[in-house]
Amino acid sequence: MSVLCLLSTQLHAQEVPQEPVVQAPPKNLIDLNEGVSFEIAPHTGLMGSSGTFGLKLSMNYSAFTLELAGEQVIGRTANLYPISVNALLNLSTRGQLIPYGTVGGGLLLTVPTNTIGDQTVSTLGVNFGGGARYYITKTFGFRVEGKQYVTSVSNDRESKNELLFFQEISVGVTFMLH
C-alpha cells in the first residue's frame, strides 16, 4: 500500500510540465573569422546502394577549411575505404548556416570480405561536391553533404583503364573545438 501511495504521488507530480529552458541562439552563433577552429564530424549515408560510416577531421580558417576524411562503405562482397584530404570553400563565415563546396583526393581501398584469395586493391581518386553545416550551439551542429568520387581502375582482361564514378550522400553531426 505504501508503495502504491508513493507511486501515485510520483505520477501526480509529473502532471506539472517541466519545460527545459531553451535559450535563443545569438545572431552570429559561429564566426569562422575569429581564428583557427577544429571540427570532428562523424557521419553516415549512402554511396550507390551501400551504407557508409565515416569521420572527418577539419581545420577552419575563415572561408577555407582543410579536412582529413576516412570512411567505410559496406558492400555485399567487399568494403570500400576512401581516405582523402579535402579543401572546403565556406560560402559563409558567420551565422548558423554555413554552406560550402569541396574538392579533394586520396586513396580508395577495396577490401574483400567473403571471398578467398582476393587481395586489397588500392586506387587513387578525386572527389568534389558540396554541403552545408547548421549549428545548434557554438560547439554542435548538423551536416549534410553530396559528393562525386572518380577513380581509375585497370581492367587486366582488356588491358585498359576504366573510369569509375560513385555518388555519395551523407548526413551527420559536427563538434566544433574553439
Partner 1 sequence: MTHRYLLYITIVVSMAFTAQESARAQLRYENSLSLSAGAYAASGFGTNHFVGVRYNYFFLGGRYFVEGSLGFGSLRSRVLENVAKSQVFSSERLYAYEFVFAYDAFPSGFLPFFAFGVAGLNQGGESTFAGVLGLGKRIPLAGFLGTNQLGVRYDIRDQIFSQRINDSDPYIAHNLVFTFGLQFYF
What is the binding site for partner 1 (CB under 8 A)? Answer: 3, 6-7, 10-11, 13-14, 18-22, 42, 44, 50-51, 53, 72, 74-76, 79, 113-114, 136-137, 140, 172-173, 175
> 83, 152, 72: which is closest to 113 by C-alpha?
72
Which of 29, 103 has the CB closer to partner 1? 29
The cell numbers describing 141, all together, are 551542429
Minimum CB separation from partner 1 for residue 89, in Å?
27
Minimum CB separation from partner 1 for residue 161, in Å?
28
Minimum CB separation from partner 1 for residue 16, in Å?
11
What string of H, E and C letters represents the secondary structure of the chain?
CHHHHHHHHHHHHCCCCCCCCCCCCCCCCEEHHHCCEEEEEEEEEEECCEEEEEEEEEEEECCEEEEEEEEEEECCCEEEEEEEEEEEEECCCEECEEEEEEEEEEEEEEEECCCCCCCCEEEEEEEEEEEEEEECCCCEEEEEEEEEEEEEEEECCCCEEEEEEEEEEEEEEEEEEC
Which of 72, 123 has the CB closer to partner 1? 72
Which of 6, 91 has the CB closer to partner 1? 6
Minimum CB separation from partner 1 for residue 103, in Å?
26
Which of 83, 126 has the CB closer to partner 1? 83
Minimum CB separation from partner 1 for residue 37, in Å?
17
Q: Side chain identity at 128, as an amino acid letter?
A: F
Which of 5, 163 has the CB closer to partner 1? 5
